[in-house]
């Protein structure tokens, strides 16, 4: 009946090997998936958050320039002076709009574009209404402040998600190592048990 024992051991070893290889394959797939997510999060953090924060800062400076121009000569300011003071606003708006926007960010961004359009209309109006113009600029600054807050919140969320991916990758690597150690111990136990069964047969052969 010893041959049945060897067959059973081989079947068990084959099943264990198949199970371990399946788990290792699944673990590697999880790691690749995690790395892809991590790359996506880092890309979003740079393109859609850090760059956008730079756009917000430049827009804020452009609105400050418009406010300074409006305060220079409130009642007789030519339209060209305020227009030139914020000439880079539209390109910055276009760059910002090309990034990923959250639902709340889309709403605030629409309000910001509407404010920019109102400023453009006020610059063309005669006589120039400096009080209303400065009020719209203040409104633009408030919107930029709220948009900046979204960048911080989203950046924090992406950073935390990336940290969780790294922790998960470390955990799966440890699990894979444990599985390989268990596999090595099982194989060693099977080899030792096979040797123990063969040894009496060898002794009987030597006696004859």
Tens of each residue's pLDDT in the chain, 208 residues? 444 545 566 666 667 777 777 777 777 776 676 666 666 656 666 666 788 889 999 999 999 988 888 887 655 555 555 556 677 899 999 999 988 888 999 999 999 999 999 998 988 887 888 889 999 999 999 999 999 999 888 887 877 777 676 667 667 777 777 777 777 777 676 666 656 555 554 444 444 4
Longest dimension (CA), the chain: 124
Cis peptide before 95 (omega within 30 of 0): no
Predicted TM-score (pTM) above 0.85: no
DSSP string, 147-194: HHHHHHHHHHHHHHHHHHHHHHHHHHHHHHHHHHHHHHHHHHHHHHHH
Spatial separation of the C-alpha atoms in residues 36 and 60, rounded to whole Å? 35
Q: How far is CA 171 from CA 24, 27, 29, 35, 74, in A?
A: 13, 10, 14, 14, 64
Spatial separation of the C-alpha atoms in residues 208 and 196, rounded to whole Å? 20
Written as six digits, the tokens of 4 are 């049945």
Residue pLDDT, tens place only, 153-200: 888 787 777 767 666 766 777 777 777 777 777 767 666 665 655 555
Is the Cβ–Cβ distance between 108 and 146 less than 8 Å?
yes
Spatial separation of the C-alpha atoms in residues 125 and 199, rounded to whole Å? 106
Q: How far is CA 37 from CA 5, 93, 153, in A?
A: 48, 28, 19
Instruction: Identify the architecture of domain 2-207 in CATH.
Output: Up-down Bundle (1.20)
């Amino acid at each position: 009946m010893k041959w049945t024992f060897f067959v059973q051991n081989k079947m068990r070893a084959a099943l264990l090997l198949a199970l371990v290889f399946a788990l290792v394959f699944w673990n590697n797939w999880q790691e690749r998936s995690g790395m892809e997510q991590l790359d996506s999060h880092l890309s979003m953090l740079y393109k859609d958050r850090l760059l956008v924060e730079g756009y917000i800062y430049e827009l804020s400076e452009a609105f400050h320039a418009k406010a300074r121009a409006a305060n220079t000569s409130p009642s007789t300011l030519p339209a060209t002076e305020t227009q030139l003071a914020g000439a880079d606003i539209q390109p910055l708006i276009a760059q910002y709009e090309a990034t990923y926007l959250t639902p709340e960010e889309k709403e605030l961004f629409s309000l910001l574009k509407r404010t920019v359009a109102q400023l453009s209309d006020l610059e063309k109006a005669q006589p120039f209404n400096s009080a209303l113009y400065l009020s719209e600029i203040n409104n633009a600054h408030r919107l930029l402040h709220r948009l900046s807050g979204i960048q911080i919140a989203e950046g924090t969320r992406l950073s935390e998600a990336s940290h969780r991916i790294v922790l998960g990758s470390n955990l799966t690597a440890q699990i894979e190592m444990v599985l390989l150690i268990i596999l090595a111990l099982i194989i060693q136990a099977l080899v030792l048990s096979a040797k123990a069964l063969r040894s009496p047969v060898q002794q009987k052969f030597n006696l004859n």
